[in-house]
């Protein structure tokens, strides 16, 4: 590969700085270079960023030039919360919910997540890989080059491991940038719903069999638990996440989505990398998250699809909690794939400003995955994962939500869409 120079962009959104998650005012400081250029070396690493007028002579002479006049250059999106490996669909449920059926009742009656579990178990590895590949390819076309992928549609040892292997294969064979998360504690499987003994045995199995096997095969970077009403209690979640932590995995939590059920406090107690959803929080919860340095991940697409309230992004920002935004891409509560659209929802729903939402869907999402020294900003030393937008004003991503503004997607200095 030759060196490349992305030249003369109306604005380069650099988000230059260190790799810690940003909070408060720092989330609005996008480090914009007007009339700027970005140089990328033969290995796909950014080596030069600055005003176009200062581009070293050598770059102009030797690099392949990508003309970015009247365009915005920005870091590619980082989707830090997806469930994108699953089988089948739940479109019949979608219609039923639009007619008034309730998400939690559907799950309690054996549908919802459990329906996706049955459809996922029924697929062989190849079919599961192909269905997931189609999805992740569409997501990258929308501008996302880095993905967190959770298991959780297996709810048995074999299928949980298969899901994580498919997620790893999307990286090794598909060339996608992926971090994986074991979410064996997503719903209580049908087989563990008969009584307290089968339920306790399932938690045991997660802690003493599934997580150790996942760790031994290096299949997951993180573990996650759906700690909420109708799913796992705080005590069960604590046990699972402590076991995962002892095995060297990072921690993420689905918390306070359906009620003030204690998941956010648990995230703070355990020093989780991320607490996600967070529709029901009080001031003490927000203080605990800030003091523990937990990234609060907003998933406004899920609020829209389920007709739920939006998490108060403003209150989190004002409390000094670092905020990320992700799709939650899953077959039920939010099958959205377009993070640019969800970023706009974070403004209209969670009341972030466009600048805050852009930081949330790039640098902060990367920081929550431990990847901010690699992606999420445009500065020397980072990978050349970047977007060329067909506009001069990055706020158009919000003003014209879901319009096709993402014109080019680059990963490691190679154009991928």
Residues near ligand NIG (CB under 6 A) are: 83, 112-113, 116, 226, 254, 257, 302, 328, 330-333
Least separation in angstroms between CB 261 and Fe ion:
15
Given ligand NIG, Fe ion, none, residue 262, with its beta carbon under 5 to 8 Å by kind, binds none
162 binds, among Fe ion, ligand NIG, none (CB under 5 to 8 A by kind): none
With CB under 5 to 8 Å by kind, the binding choice for 112 among Fe ion, ligand NIG, none is ligand NIG
- Counting contacts by CB under 5 A, is residue 328 touching Fe ion? yes
By CB under 5 A, the count of residues binding Fe ion is: 1
When asked if residue 79 is in the footprint of Fe ion (CB under 5 A), the reply is no
- Check the CA dihedral 164-324-363-333 and report its sign: positive
302 binds, among Fe ion, ligand NIG, none (CB under 5 to 8 A by kind): ligand NIG
For residue 302, the 8-state DSSP code is: H
Other beta carbons less than 10 A from residue 366's beta carbon = 29
Question: Of 13 and 117, which CB lies nearer to Fe ion in the complex structure?
Answer: 117
Closest contact distance (angstroms) between CB of 230 and ligand NIG is: 10
User: In this chain, which residue has its C-beta nearest to Fe ion?
Assistant: 328
How far CA 94 is from CA of 89, 122, 190, 240, 395, in Å, comes to: 10, 21, 22, 31, 32
Q: What burial class does residue 301 get, using C-beta atoms within 10 Å of its C-beta: 0-12 exposed, 13-18 middle, 19+ buried? A: buried
How many whole angstroms separate alpha carbon 258 and alpha carbon 402?
27
Q: How far is the CB of 254 from Fe ion (least distance, A)?
A: 5
| Residues paired with 50 in a beta bridge | 37
Altogether, the residues listed in the chain come to a count of: 417
Contact present, 337 and 53 (Cβ < 8 Å)? no
Answer whether 6's CB lies under 8 Å from 386's CB: yes
Q: Which residue's CB is nearer to ligand NIG, number 116 or number 151?
A: 116
Give me 352's structure tokens: 């972030």
Output 313 or 413, the one with its CB closest to ligand NIG.
313
The DSSP symbol for 333 reads: S
Which of 59, 86 has the CB closer to ligand NIG? 86
Q: Output 328 or 356, the one with its CB closest to Fe ion.
A: 328
* Joined tokens for residue 316: 């989190």
Q: Of these partners, Fe ion, ligand NIG, none, which one is at the site of residue 189 (CB under 5 to 8 Å by kind)?
A: none
Q: Which residues bind Fe ion (CB under 5 A)?
A: 328
């Amino acid at each position: 590969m030759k060196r490349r120079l992305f030249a003369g962009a109306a604005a380069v959104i650099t988000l230059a700085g260190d790799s810690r998650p940003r909070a408060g005012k720092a989330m609005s400081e996008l480090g914009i270079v007007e009339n700027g250029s970005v140089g990328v070396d033969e290995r796909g690493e950014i080596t030069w960023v600055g005003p176009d007028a200062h581009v070293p002579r050598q770059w102009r002479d030797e690099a392949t030039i990508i003309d970015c006049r009247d365009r915005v250059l920005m870091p590619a999106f980082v989707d830090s919360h997806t469930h994108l490996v699953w089988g089948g669909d739940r479109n019949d449920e979608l219609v039923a919910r639009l007619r008034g059926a309730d998400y939690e009742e559907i799950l309690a009656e054996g549908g919802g997540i459990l329906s996706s579990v049955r459809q996922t178990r029924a697929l062989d590895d190849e079919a599961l890989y192909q269905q997931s590949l189609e999805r992740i390819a569409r997501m990258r076309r929308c501008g996302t080059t880095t993905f967190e992928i959770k298991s959780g549609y297996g709810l048995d040892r074999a299928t949980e491991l298969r899901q994580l292997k498919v997620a790893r294969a999307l990286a090794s064979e598909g060339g996608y940038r992926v971090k994986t998360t074991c979410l064996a504690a997503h719903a209580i499987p049908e087989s563990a719903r008969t009584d307290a003994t089968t339920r306790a045995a399932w938690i045991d199995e997660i802690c003493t069999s599934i997580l150790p096997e996942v760790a031994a095969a290096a299949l997951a970077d993180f573990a996650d638990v759906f700690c909420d009403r109708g799913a796992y209690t705080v005590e069960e979640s604590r046990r699972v996440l402590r076991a995962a932590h002892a095995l060297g995995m990072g921690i993420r939590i689905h918390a306070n989505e359906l009620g003030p059920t204690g998941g956010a406090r648990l995230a703070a107690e355990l020093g989780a990398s991320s607490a996600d959803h967070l529709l029901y929080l009080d001031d003490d919860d927000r203080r605990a998250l800030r003091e523990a340095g937990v990234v609060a991940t907003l998933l406004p697409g899920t609020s829209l699809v389920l007709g739920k309230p939006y998490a108060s992004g403003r209150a989190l920002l004002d409390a000094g909690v670092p905020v990320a935004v992700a799709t939650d891409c899953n077959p039920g509560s939010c099958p959205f794939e377009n993070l640019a659209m969800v970023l706009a929802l974070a403004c209209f729903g969670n009341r972030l400003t466009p600048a805050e939402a852009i930081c949330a869907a790039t640098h902060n999402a990367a920081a929550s995955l431990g990847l901010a020294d690699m992606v999420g900003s445009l500065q020397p030393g980072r990978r050349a994962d970047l977007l060329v937008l067909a506009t001069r004003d990055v706020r158009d991503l919000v003003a014209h939500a879901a319009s096709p503004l993402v014109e080019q997607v680059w990963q490691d200095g190679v154009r991928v869409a």
